[in-house]
């Protein structure tokens, strides 16, 4: 099981902004679990912040710009790629100008700055986004496709009608080690004939041979390249940064042909819409009874109530009814669960006993959420009327409905039912005893 990650302490990097030409600093700060990545403008009154999310992208002119109301932050893609490559889920990125430093045009200075800060695992499971079917975007000769995969992999091709730079291809499985060694050092680049046009548009004011590779008509102006295929590697760096704006780590294989920020963001928007639809399905009606409303408990709040911990925590979110006699738990079943390695590995199916355990843990939260029972532990004395109706597979989401049918000072009885897409897959009756911790 992979845990969410932040950094141990603050760390700062300073330098020139690529497009603004301003001297600027970026300070990375730890953030709590499930808070995601947030950019903060420390130079503005009230230090306004913007979530690093596709919904906040306002421009893709030679870089990706985030905005929120009256302020913006340009060129966030190298930082976002670095956070994705290092596996950082939660972070505050504080910038004292409208653009972070370009550094040397790569992600490597940010890697080094964050490694100095140290990494801190958090006791909450990573929330990977996976897809069941291909997602595509095309515009002219630009094509991107996202394919289902149990790892994060990027394959990219660039193709220019230029005698110095023509076609390059690269494919990498993105792990922390591979990102640091093969992707992070790749620098941004431009063609010499673009420079005047960029500057007329107010861009590339801070660009020079120390932070960009410049391709001339007859040769490359920089002394040497870091990789023979540095250009396609940098395209992969940009793509990783733009895709991470879905707001969570991705497990999929991205294939890109002639991609750039506009196409990357268009694809990311498609993935973002899938995430929104998935969330809407998970938060639709939780009980068959009309009028059910309740408080949503996050994974972190669940762990504050019951003693279960990963990898033996089988519920991701719980909605509690106000009367505290009903609750609905949710568990997303992914192929990455440890038990699939040994339980029918050639035909992965969720063990029935784990459906029962998921209902039992939801029942525990239902009882222990009461303030007068927080110092108790429920021990199950009997499980009756167990019935398995339908199999549950990776990609399914369990909806675990539990209801107290008898409550006493020292114990009680709960009826539990598990659904997938509103179809009953299992049910059981639990009897338990409450004891002091």
Examine the pLDDT at 204 and tell me if it is beyond 90: no
CA distance 215 to 165: 8
Q: Which of 219, 248, 279 finishes a domain?
A: 279
Does any domain span residue 120? Answer: yes
Domain shared by 131 and 205, yes or no = yes
DSSP state letter for 294: E
Domain shared by 198 and 328, yes or no = no
User: Where in the sequence is the domain holding 385, given as residue range(s)?
Assistant: 294-436
Examine the pLDDT at 201 and tell me if it is beyond 90: no
Domain shared by 116 and 252, yes or no = yes
* pLDDT of amino acid 285: 40
For residue 343, indicate whether it is catalytic.
Answer: yes
pTM for the complete prediction? 0.66
**Start-to-end C-alpha separation, the chain:** 28
**Highest-scoring range by mean pLDDT, 230-244, 272-286, 289-303, 364-378:** 230-244
Does any domain span residue 289? Answer: no
Query: What is the domain-level CATH number for residue 208?
Result: 3.30.1700.10
* pLDDT of amino acid 287: 39
Average pLDDT rounded to a whole number, residues 244-266 = 96
Q: Which of 246, 279, 312 finishes a domain?
A: 279
Q: Is 418 helix (H, G, I), strand (E, B) or coil?
A: strand
Domain shared by 111 and 227, yes or no = yes
Q: How many domains does the chain have?
A: 2
* pLDDT of amino acid 300: 76
Domain shared by 164 and 251, yes or no = yes
Q: By percentage, how much of the chain surpasses pLDDT 70?
A: 89
* pLDDT of amino acid 173: 97
User: Per-residue pLDDT tens for 46-101?
Assistant: 999 999 999 999 999 878 999 987 899 999 999 999 999 999 999 999 999 989 99
Examine the pLDDT at 226 and tell me if it is beyond 90: yes
Domain shared by 219 and 343, yes or no = no
8 A C-beta contact, residue 157 and residue 81: no
CA distance 211 to 116: 22
Residue 25: its H or E element: strand 23-30
User: What is the average pLDDT value for the chain, to the nearest integer?
Assistant: 86
Q: Which residues have CB under 8 Å from 84's CB, separation 6+? A: 174, 179, 240, 241, 243, 244, 249
Examine the pLDDT at 161 and tell me if it is beyond 60: yes
299 versus 14: which is more confidently predicted?
A: 14
Domain shared by 258 and 360, yes or no = no
Burial class (CB in 10 A: 0-12, 13-18, 19+), 124: buried
Q: Is 161 helix (H, G, I), strand (E, B) or coil?
A: coil
Does any domain span residue 288? Answer: no
**Highest-scoring range by mean pLDDT, 179-183, 270-274, 341-345, 381-385:** 179-183
pLDDT band at 198 (very low <50, low <70, confident <90, very high): low
pLDDT band at 364 (very low <50, low <70, confident <90, very high): confident
Domain shared by 301 and 377, yes or no = yes
**Highest-scoring range by mean pLDDT, 208-222, 234-248, 292-306, 363-377:** 234-248
* pLDDT of amino acid 293: 60
* pLDDT of amino acid 195: 66
**What's the chain's Rg over C-alpha atoms?**
25
Query: What is the domain-level CATH number for residue 380?
Result: 3.10.129.10
* pLDDT of amino acid 200: 61
User: Per-residue pLDDT tens for 24-35?
Assistant: 999 999 999 999
Average pLDDT rounded to a whole number, residues 233-251 = 97
Domain shared by 265 and 158, yes or no = yes
Does any domain span residue 287? Answer: no
Q: Which of 252, 279, 306 finishes a domain?
A: 279
Domain shared by 132 and 252, yes or no = yes
Q: By percentage, how much of the chain surpasses pLDDT 90?
A: 51
Domain shared by 265 and 304, yes or no = no
Examine the pLDDT at 1 and tell me if it is beyond 50: yes
Average pLDDT rounded to a whole number, residues 264-281 = 85
Does any domain span residue 286? Answer: no
Average pLDDT rounded to a whole number, residues 254-264 = 96
pLDDT band at 283 (very low <50, low <70, confident <90, very high): very low
Catalytic residue (choose from 19, 78, 253, 261): 261
Does any domain span residue 58? Answer: yes
* pLDDT of amino acid 279: 65
Domain shared by 59 and 200, yes or no = yes
CA distance 249 to 158: 25
Examine the pLDDT at 288 and tell me if it is beyond 60: no
Does any domain span residue 162? Answer: yes
Following DSSP, what letter does each residue of 209-274 receive, concatenated? TTT-EEE-SSSBSSS--SSTTHHHHHHHHHHHHHHGGGSS-EEEEEEEES--HHHHHHHHHHHHHH
User: Per-residue pLDDT tens for 315-338?
Assistant: 988 888 867 788 898 988 887 777
Does any domain span residue 348? Answer: yes
């Amino acid at each position: 099981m992979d845990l969410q990650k932040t950094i141990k302490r603050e760390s700062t990097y300073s330098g020139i902004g690529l497009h603004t030409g301003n001297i600027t600093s970026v300070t990375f700060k730890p953030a709590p679990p499930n808070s995601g990545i947030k950019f903060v403008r420390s130079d503005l009154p009230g230090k306004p912040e913007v979530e690093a999310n596709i919904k906040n992208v306002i421009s893709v002119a030679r870089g990706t710009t985030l905005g929120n109301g009256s302020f913006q932050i340009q060129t966030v893609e190298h930082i976002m790629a670095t956070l994705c490559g290092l596996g950082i889920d939660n972070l505050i990125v504080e910038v004292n100008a409208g653009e972070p430093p370009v550094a040397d045009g790569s992600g490597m200075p940010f890697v080094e700055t964050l490694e100095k800060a140290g990494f801190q695992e958090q006791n909450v499971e990573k929330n990977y986004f996976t897809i069941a079917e291909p997602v595509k975007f095309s515009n002219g000769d630009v094509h991107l496709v996202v394919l289902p995969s149990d790892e994060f992999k990027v394959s990219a091709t660039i193709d220019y009608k230029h005698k110095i730079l023509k076609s390059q291809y690269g494919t990498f499985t993105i792990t922390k080690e591979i990102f640091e060694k093969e992707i992070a050092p790749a620098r941004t680049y431009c063609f010499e004939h673009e420079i005047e046009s960029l500057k007329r548009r107010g861009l590339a004011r801070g660009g020079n041979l120390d932070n960009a590779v410049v391709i001339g008509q007859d040769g490359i102006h920089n002394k040497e390249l870091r990789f023979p295929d540095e250009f396609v590697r940098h395209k992969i760096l940009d793509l990783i940064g733009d895709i991470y704006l879905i707001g969570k780590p991705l497990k999929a294989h991205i294939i890109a042909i002639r991609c750039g920020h506009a196409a990357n963001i268009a694809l990311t928007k498609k993935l973002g819409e899938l995430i929104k639809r998935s969330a809407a399905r998970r938060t639709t009606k939780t009980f068959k009874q009309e009028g059910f409303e309740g408080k949503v408990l996050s994974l972190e709040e669940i762990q504050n109530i019951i003693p279960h911990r990963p990898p033996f925590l089988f519920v991701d979110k719980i909605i509690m009814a106000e009367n505290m006699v009903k609750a609905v738990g949710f568990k997303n079943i992914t192929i990455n669960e440890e038990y699939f390695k040994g339980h029918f590995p050639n035909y992965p199916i969720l063990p029935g006993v784990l459906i029962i355990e998921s209902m039992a843990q939801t029942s525990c939260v239902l009882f222990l959420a009461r303030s007068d029972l927080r110092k108790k532990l429920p021990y199950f004395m009997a499980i009756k009327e167990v019935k398995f109706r339908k199999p549950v597979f990776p990609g399914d989401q369990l909806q675990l409905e539990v209801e107290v049918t008898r409550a006493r000072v020292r114990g009680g009885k709960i009826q539990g039912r598990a659904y997938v897409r509103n179809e009953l897959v299992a049910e059981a009756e639990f009897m338990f005893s409450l004891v002091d911790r």
